Chains A and B, each alone.
Chain A
Amino acid sequence: MIELKNITFERDGKKILDDVSLKIDEDKFIVITGPNGSGKSTLTKIIMGIEKQDSGEIYFNGKEITNLPIDERAKLGIAYAFQQPVKFKGLTVYELIKLSAGKEIKKAEACNILSKVGLCAKEYVDREINASLSGGELKRIEIAMVAARKAALTIFDEPEAGIDLWSFNHLINVFEDMIKETKGITMIISHQERILDIADKIVLVDSGKIKKVGTKEEVMPLVLGNKICCKLGGSIDG
């Protein structure tokens, strides 16, 4: 269970999040959507502790985590996949998957995780996570790392950003498998209709506020029927 109470976040005189409250209390596949600049990424970064809210409280599985640092939230079971995966000179895919898993795991196990995100494991497991990998490859490795954590709350910030259509189709399968296999809450920031299609619940964010939380049938008319549609532009029909 994750609960945000009255979260406010303001920078340069602009309210990025304006008194946001949200409670997700079931193991569900949640998609957060809304126009660019609406506050979606900030919202998830505040849950992970990467950004610090100006006011408000956060509870995770009954425990207040409002002032906990990133690593302590991670240890409680929150995982985060970045929109722009971070590169590391010298650290290999295997080493990072081991760090993600938080324990010694065999190479074969790491290879299984990589295969699930569509990477030929043998080719990648010993590679450094550096600029020699393409955007799509880095993205899949990022997803593999998060999958290795088996966290109670897993957040993905726009997993589809920067990858080609072929990779995207595969990504949908990865998420579908993840929903089947993992217990806990999966929270994805996305504009993609095919990801919205598989959501249990959609959270619609606009101008720093949560406009609606509901099923696709409940939320989509709002997206398509008013000015939010114009702001989303072509990105929703992906």
Chain B
Amino acid sequence: MDSLDTNLLKEIADMNLAEIEGAYNIRKNGKGIERKITENINIVNKEDKDGIDIFVKENTKFDVVHIPVIITESGLSDVVYNDFYIGKNAEVVIIAGCGIHNDHHEDSQHNGIHRFFLEEGAKVKYIEKHYGEGDGNGKRILNPVTEVYLKDGSTLEMESIQIKGVDSTDRLTKGTLEANTNFVVSEKIMTHGSQYAKTSFEVELNGENASTHVTSRSVATENSIQEFISKVSGNNKCFGHVECDAIVKDNAKVIAIPEIIANHVEANLIHEAAIGKIAGEQLIKLMTLGLSAKEAEDEIINGFLK
């Protein structure tokens, strides 16, 4: 690994190999380059397609898995299938992410298809960060798919962050929830230039007392376009809350399309969406504290996306 790789890893996973604890698998330009397994976490290559299976033993506590992907080769189109099998009552943090460095004119693309199978009582925190850099005019494209299957009493909390440098993204997140499960998604996106970001959520609340909270906060600047689509189906006594908040600047455009479907009389589903520019009163308030208009705007956006 060279310094470029190290920087990308730092950006997407705050990862320093020397200090890392837990299991990891690093993929670079379409190939696995480094791997470590632990007593409780095993990682094996898939035999039928490109990708890995990650097995977390039941009752594992406080373990961590890193699975970053870095792409430094212009023109590469990488598709990877990663499946996570989380044993009963295991508690684990999974940190994924993709960093693309593209200095050339050909497009670089990574599509990560991640599936999570949680057994009864398992708890997962899944953090995913997307980042692009480089001076070339080749596009940096990321199209992740996340599928989550939650068995009785399990929970998955997903944090997804895309702040810089990704030209185009089309993200799909799906959840299928059994009884007494909770699926929490927090998404933060910032786009600029002529970037495009589309995120879709499809959650099926099938079991009694299944619940989901989806929060999306985004900032669209310059000529960028964002689309936020959510579809939550309540098929039992359940609770679903989707919240989409967007700040729009310059000539940017944000589209929010909510869909909530109650197929059961005790399904309780809420969708909130608010899109607008930075409120003038917020800028004025921070300026009365001595911040310039630009500093005030940065402070508001940084807080919003924190």
Contacts and interface: CB of A to CB of B under 8 A. Distances in A.
A89 B290 contact: no
Given A88-B300, A90-B305, A91-B300, A82 B287 contact: no
A145 B288 CA distance: 11
Interface in A90-109: 90-91, 95-96, 99-100, 102
Range of interface residues on B (Cβ < 8 Å): 20 to 34
Interface in B284-302: 284-293, 296, 299-300, 302
A71 B302 CA distance: 20
Contact of A149 (B281, B282, B289): B289
Interface stretch (A3-11, A73-81, A181-189, A212-220): A73-81
Indicate the member of A96, A99, A100 with the most B CB atoms within 10 Å: A99
* Chain B binding surface SS class: helix
Contact of A70 (B245, B279, B287, B300): B287
Nearest to A50: B284
A48 interface: yes
A86 interface: yes
B300 A74 contact: no
A71 to B, nearest CB: 5
Contacts of A89: 217, 245, 303-304
Nearest to B304: A90
A86 B279 contact: yes
A79 B296 CA distance: 16
Given A71-B292, A71-B293, A90 B287 contact: no
Interface in B165-190: none
A50 to B, nearest CB: 6
Given A86-B282, A88-B300, A90-B305, A74 B245 contact: no
A48 B282 contact: no
Contacts of B217: 89-90
B289 A100 contact: yes
A79 B289 CA distance: 7
A102 B300 contact: no
B49 interface: no
B16 to A, nearest CB: 27
B282 A74 contact: no
A90 B288 contact: no
A102 B217 CA distance: 28
Contacts of A100: 289
Contacts of A71: 287-288, 290-293, 296
A96 B302 CA distance: 13
A37 interface: no
Given A89-B245, A90-B306, A145 B299 contact: no
Interface in A128-151: 145, 149
10 contacts: A48-B288, A69-B287, A71-B288, A71-B296, A74-B288, A75-B290, A80-B288, A82-B285, A88-B300, A99-B299
Closest 3 CB pairs of A and B: A90-B303, A91-B303, A74-B290
Interface of B: 217, 245, 279, 281-282, 284-293, 296, 299-300, 302-306
